[in-house]
Chains A and B, each alone.
Chain A
Amino acid sequence: MPKRTDVKKIMVIGSGPIIIGQAAEFDYSGTQACLALKELGYEVVLVNSNPATIMTDKEVADKVYIEPLTLDFVSQVLRKERPDAILPTLGGQQGLNMAKELSDSGILDEMKIKLLGTDLKAINEAEDREQFRQLMRDLKQPVPKSVIANTVDQAVAFASKHGYPVIVRPAFTMGGTGGGIADNEAQLREIADNGLYLSPVTQVLIEQSIAGYKEIEFEVMRDAADNAMVVCNMENFDPVGIHTGDSIVFAPIQTLSDDEVQMLRDAALKIIRALKIEGGCNVQLALDPNSMNYYVIEVNPRVSRSSALASKATGYPIARVAAKIAVGLNLDEIMNPVTGTTYAEFEPALDYVVCKIPRWPFDKFTKADRTLGTQMKATGEAMAIDRNIEGSILKAVRSLDIDLTDMDDPELANLSDEELDCGIVKAQDDRLFYLYEAIKRGYSIEKLAEMTKIHIFFLDKLLHIYEIAEALREGINDVDLLRIAKRNGFSDENIAKLWNQTADEVRDLRVKNDIIPVYKMVDTCAGEFESETPYFYSTYELENESVKTDQESVLVLGSGPIRIGQGVEFDYATVHSVEAIKKAGYESIIMNNNPETVSTDSSISDKLYFEPLTVEEVMNVIDLEKPKGVVVQFGGQTAINLAEPLAKRGVKILGTSVADLNRAEDRDEFDKVIKKLGIPQPTGGIASTVAEAIKCADEIGYPIVVRPSYVLGGRAMEIVNKRADMENYMRNAVKVSNDHPVLIDQYLTGKECEVDAISDGKDVLIPGIMEHIERAGVHSGDSMAVYPAQTLSQKVKDQIIKYTKELSLELGCIGLMNIQFIVHNEEVYVIEVNPRASRTVPFLSKVTGISMAQVATNIILGQSLAKQGYKSGLAPESKLIHVKAPVFSFSKLNDVDSLLGPEMKSTGEVMGSDVTLSKALYKSFEAAKLHVPDHGKILFTVKDGDKAETDALAKRFWDLGYQILATEGTAKALEKAGVPVTTVGKLGEEDSLLKQMMD
């Protein structure tokens, strides 16, 4: 079928803010979809609330609306734009839910707007458990015995009949929120109760547990002519029982016989045909390791996290093809852009192994429950490619950017066998390292397979890694062993550790013996056809497929897996930098390892190296490509941290010099700079004994901020108000010594502001000043920010501009820099300088119209601000008011305190823009899904210091007609202030208290 001509204008719905379970993969798929539709000549209107995405760039669609993804706002855009159709299947669950809501509201019928791609009936059939089970029965596809329960008693009755353990899966919740495995009635009652509450249709599926089965995924595609094909199959290292988003995953399937693969492939294709999917679809299956019995676990009738992974694992652009199918093209009519010679119906073949490891937020949330189960907890993922499993898993570990760079976690050596067993049986995020430790202690892989149900094949690979490590330990400088180790993914650093040498010594030996990596192409067809994709991975084999071109090149380092504090914003800046490099006439080369994002789409840069971001791996690419230089300022802290070691090895760092980066990042060096410039900053000191700390605090004057380097029981940072509290805190909450000093700073109350500056060494452009809603003390990433600043006086603004200029020039900034200020009594103090692109670059770029990362890249490549048409100083401010609001994923994680403080906790952001501040604020709350009802009850529980301020706030709520509830202490204060208040119980009564609230 040729493309549809009855449709001219198409609206694409994005996935909104990044939360656990719905992340950057939808920026990638949405961007691909918009570009594919534009390529076919359609007019594309995009709606998304997330400013930190490439898909919301003006260039991606004809019209871009950054508006809340709610019925009201999307309807308004529909009425204004009057599109002929909506494409909802590329914006994750949020996109689908939005389409359902629009359809239910009747607006689509009223305006005769069509839904493209898979129709809603099929989507419901895949997502509604009962309809799905019925379909599977009709298709004779086995599903685990299960019952749909609307009450806890129904759930318990099923389990009593069919036995424990059972899995609880709430209907229509994201990332499996609220699900779990119950081994007994008490657990079942607790999980089912919570699941029923969280499900918007008060429905949970109680399912016979198939935990321990092999978990297999198929990414399949189908068009309207019923052509269907498999893009990629994948096997989870972790058997059924752990959410696939929290599982280590390999592609292709590793432990199944051909018969088994074909059986499951047939099942997946049968299902996608029966559902009449038009586009991409993900089918999850469970296979009994001891028989040919299998079960269908789940079907996602849309592109998903797994499809992004499958796209990057195979090179096959699933979202791009899905968008084309949605407008009527068939698989045998769509060219595979990777080969340029085959059609999209050609199934990719892999001649390598891909490994994905999730990235969890437990380094930030140290007290969180780290147990893995049916509820996804990871914020991001890293992917690695090599010719064997050992290589791909070791590279993936290095790509995670955690404390460990290999399998051997020295801290686990202190565990007792019982503790070790516990960590192996009850999977946490770090089980991989527990397994390695067990192998070190001589556990047999048979025993480990029995304990974990992980296939012995995978465990044997871990054993192989251990055997190589042990052989290395015995064979120092043995070149043959070195070659074997490199072929199996060992890093120079890992080998150096085993040999008691430095990584450079290992490297020298390696290079001397010509053990250097070659780069293989990811071409979707295992070399069967000619292919031009510039997408490479390293391996220690013979034939190099990556040829250095004659064009001068620039290497850009990406930011690796998404984590709290280093989100998709840095991928945004990376992609923009690459655009500018291409425009400037250089060959652009990206190194990154995040399969979810736009930067690792092989069509973005001239060359893509999918590699860990380590000194060794970056140097290997540099040795081959000999770029003009390396850009590190857009890839967050991951890339910045590589600047110094790369410079030491003679690599040219483009932009701000390494010495200047250090002057901004080192506390002492920075103190000197700021003193020299005479810029005010909060006074501070360092103490290494309790007495010193108290003396220091007394000298500074309270309140102060204390930042210990070693925490016993308190929070990492604390604001302390008086001497008695300080003594108590120092004695009980922290450990202080010469090795673990405590930083003490004056705590200034006041407005917090933030600027991103672009400097060419002569002129300094300040695109905008952002004013935070929350006062100092809340991490800037968790604060709401307003642009343009609303309450700053001209004097304060002038000071900010002056200090920004002085700091940028003094610190030799070439490119981007981020500075945070506190305004205290009309006086501006500098609290932090980051000599790199910051989290606010996408937001500010969008609201000011200045493509900051591109302007900065042009400067880095030698084009001054003046040449680019920019003047020094603050850019003209916009008429609209824009609010950036943080979005959190607390409901996905247990035992994480949601109280905002100096440590960042948010996972994503939204933006609201309008003509007045209150309208913009309203939109940002709506976009963040913090819908505040216009009447009802408000429960106040505030600390003593906040009580006076609370009186006034509560009074205003009461004036608006809200009922005020408060816990005892707060209620007393409110009563005293004359605010009508109902006192509610405190400890142990939170359930009844909440019931009261929900009535």
Chain B
Amino acid sequence: MVVNTISNEKESEDDGARIRSAAISHDIPLFTSLDTVEAILQVLESQSFTTQSL
């Protein structure tokens, strides 16, 4: 899974676009908004148990 929100910082903009396009061409789920990631987390958390060390 790829989370990528790089947009307007000039030097990293190309990088952001390259990572995004690589993710798409390899069919890896890509998210460009943290709100969508939050929604995904909500789904994953509702489906799983919590494991925590003491």
Residues on A facing B (Cβ under 8 Å): 194, 197-198, 718, 725, 773-775, 778, 784, 890-891, 897-901, 916-919, 921-922, 925, 930-934, 936-944, 946, 949-950, 953, 956-957, 959-961, 967, 969, 986-987, 990-991, 993-994, 997-998
Contacts and interface: CB of A to CB of B under 8 A. Distances in A.
Contacts of A775: 33, 35
A527 B6 CA distance: 62
A941 B46 contact: no
Contact of B1 (A773, A901, A916, A938): A938
Interface string B37-48: 111111111111
Contacts of B25: 194, 197-198, 891
Contacts of B42: 917-918, 921
A938 B20 contact: no
B4 A941 contact: yes
A222 B4 CA distance: 50
A959 B29 contact: no
B2 A997 contact: yes
A997 B18 CA distance: 15
A917 B40 CA distance: 11
Nearest to A719: B8
A932 B1 contact: yes
Contacts of A725: 8
Contact of A900 (B26, B32, B40, B52): B32
Given A901-B7, A991-B22, 6 more contacts: A198-B25, A897-B21, A938-B2, A956-B41, A960-B41, A990-B18
A67 to B, nearest CB: 16
Contacts of A932: 1, 29, 40, 43-44
B53 to A, nearest CB: 11
A761 B17 CA distance: 48
Contacts of A941: 2-6, 15-16, 19
Contact of A946 (B1, B2, B30, B34): B34
B45 A942 contact: no
Contact of A898 (B30, B37, B44, B45): B30
Given A942-B6, A943-B7, A944-B9, A998 B28 contact: yes
Contacts of B50: 959
12 contacts: A773-B35, A773-B38, A773-B39, A897-B20, A921-B40, A930-B29, A931-B29, A942-B5, A943-B5, A943-B7, A953-B34, A987-B14
B22 A994 contact: yes
A863 B34 CA distance: 45
Contact of B45 (A198, A925, A956): A956
B24 A938 contact: no
A936 B20 CA distance: 18
Nearest to A886: B36
Contacts of A931: 29
Given A890-B24, A891-B24, A939 B19 contact: yes
A918 B42 CA distance: 6
Contact of A937 (B1, B6, B15): B1
Given A941-B15, A956-B41, A197 B26 contact: yes
Contact of A994 (B3, B26, B46): B26
A891 B27 contact: yes
Contact of A987 (B15, B21, B29): B15
B10 to A, nearest CB: 9
A390 B9 CA distance: 51
Q: Which 9 A-B pairs have the closest CB atoms?
A: A918-B46, A774-B35, A922-B43, A942-B5, A774-B33, A938-B1, A990-B22, A890-B24, A899-B32
A898 B19 CA distance: 10
Given A778-B33, A939-B19, A921 B2 contact: no
Contacts, number: 147
A994 B28 contact: yes
B4 A774 contact: no
A960 B45 contact: yes
A898 B22 CA distance: 11
Contacts of A773: 35-36, 38-39
Nearest to B50: A959
Contacts of A987: 14-15
B45 A949 contact: no
A899 B22 contact: no
A783 to B, nearest CB: 8
A751 to B, nearest CB: 10
Given A898-B30, A940-B3, A774 B47 contact: no
Nearest to B28: A997
B5 to A, nearest CB: 5
A950 B34 contact: yes
Given A922-B47, A943-B6, A899 B41 contact: no
Given A959-B50, A960-B48, A991-B22, A921 B43 contact: yes
A936 B28 CA distance: 12
A940 B12 CA distance: 14
Given A774-B35, A899-B4, A953-B34, A925 B43 contact: yes
Given A775-B35, A899-B17, A953-B37, A994 B4 contact: no
B51 A961 contact: yes
Contacts of B35: 773-775, 778
A985 to B, nearest CB: 10
A969 B50 CA distance: 29
A773 B36 CA distance: 7
A938 B19 CA distance: 13
A621 B12 CA distance: 55
Contacts of A953: 3, 34, 37-38, 41
A134 B5 CA distance: 49
A960 B35 CA distance: 18
A946 B5 contact: yes
Contacts of B51: 961
Contacts of B33: 774-775, 778, 900
A890 B51 CA distance: 37
A890 B28 CA distance: 12
Contacts of B38: 773, 953
B48 A934 contact: yes
A784 B3 contact: no
A939 B32 contact: no
A366 B33 CA distance: 22
Nearest to A891: B24
A890 B20 CA distance: 10
Given A774-B33, A953-B34, A998-B28, A934 B5 contact: no
Contacts of A967: 15, 19
B47 A934 contact: yes
Contact of A718 (B3, B8, B24, B39): B8
Contacts of A991: 22
A934 B14 CA distance: 30
B44 A899 contact: no
A943 B3 contact: no
A286 to B, nearest CB: 29
Contacts of B44: 932, 934, 957, 960
A237 B19 CA distance: 38
